[in-house]
Structure 1
Amino acid sequence: MNEYNLINRCLSTLKSSKMDVMSKLRMESLLIGIKMLMLVDIAGQDSTPDLEELLLHVKEVCTGESADGVNGLLEHVRKLQSSMVSCLDLSC
């Protein structure tokens, strides 16, 4: 349940940021995608991404303290999604 709270905090931080609308929409879509992937049984729960690190990255970008900016954050979230998708147990 903590994982969902972390994603919700990311979404809340994103919503209150001054980031441009298109970037916000992309991030929201990716973050909601991660929430959806968390509903699926993932082989080896060790593959769950570090969402506290993600929240920190979102906060840094939203406050302008991140060197890699919005594009770096988008890439970070895409990598998290890809790693989660690759761990799905599709043998059922």
Structure 2
Amino acid sequence: MDSTTTLVAVASVVAAVFAVAVAVLVRLVRARRDLRRAGLPTGPRWVFWGAVLYFVLPTDLLPDPVYLDDIGVLLLALRTLHRYPEPPESLR
């Protein structure tokens, strides 16, 4: 395997992992928007904004070409949004 092939393979893997991270970020934003439209609580605001900032800012636990930690933080925030809401009394 020459260096060009290796570079293309690594770039493809990084691009695929980044695409997954962006897809999870979009899902998190849509989940928060849908909860707000339904009038349900969206959980602590810092969970959502903390996850978004962790994804955007370059300071991570792992270097940014490795987006696995970003995906993990986004998934934890998404899980928190889905577990937190309790329907208001008027919707029960």
Give the TM-score taking structure 2 as reference length.
0.54
Counterpart in the other structure of 1:30: 28
Q: 2:57 aligns with which of 58, 63, 79?
A: 63
Q: 1:77 to 1:55 in 2, by over 3 A?
A: same
Extract structure 1 runs of 4+ deviating beyond 3 A: none
- Tell me how far 1:48 sits from its aligned partner: 4.1
- Tell me how far 1:60 sits from its aligned partner: 2.2
The residue type equivalent to 1:74 in the other structure is: L
**RMSD between aligned residues:** 2.6
Distance in 2, Cα, partners of 1:31 & 1:78: 12
The residue type equivalent to 1:76 in the other structure is: A
Give the TM-score taking structure 1 as reference length.
0.54
Unmatched 5+ stretches in structure 1: 1-17
Q: 2:38 aligns with which of 37, 40, 60?
A: 40
Q: Kindly, what percent of the aligned residue pairs are identical?
A: 15
Counterpart in the other structure of 1:6: none
